[in-house]
Amino acid sequence: MWWYAGPTKNHWYKALIDGSHLVLLKRADQISTRLSTVPFKAQGKVAYSLRLRSVGANLFGAPPGLPIHPNPIPWMINTVDPALRSGQVGVRVLLQNDTIVNVTSFQATTASTAM
C-alpha cells in the first residue's frame, strides 16, 4: 500500500486478499475504484505473502503464497494508473472477527524502471 495524504485528501493504492480474489484498489478525491481483481482462493490457516510494486504509473500485484523474488513471474495484477505518481509506503491492517494477522516482513525499496 502507498498513499499521499494532503491537507484535505486521502489518496492511496491498496492490494488485498478478500478470501477469493487478489484485489487492487485506489482511492482518490474521495472516490474508491477497483483497478483490478483476479481469482485467488485463500485457504484457512495458510500464511500468504502479498507484494505490490509500482514503477511510475505501472502497478503490479505478486502471486500470493509464492516465494518472494525480485520479479515474480507471472504477476497476477499488471495495470496502469497515472493518478498517484508519488507518495509514501506503509502497511495497514483491518481485522475481522476471529482473524489473526502476523506481519513478518515489510520492505520498501526504490524500484528500477526495469521490469
Give the pLDDT band of residue 43 (cuts 50, 70, 90): confident
Q: What is the bridge-based pairing of β-strands 77-80 and 58-61?
A: antiparallel
- Look at residue 33 in the predicted model and tell me its pLDDT: 92
> Confidence class of residue 112 from pLDDT cuts 50, 70 and 90?
low
Kindly list the distances between the CA atom of residue 7 and the CA atoms of 4, 18, 34, in Å, as whole numbers in the listed order: 10, 30, 24
Predicted confidence (pLDDT) per residue in 5-34, tens digit: 556 567 888 888 888 888 999 888 888 899
Between strands 52-55 and 2-5, the pairing is unpaired
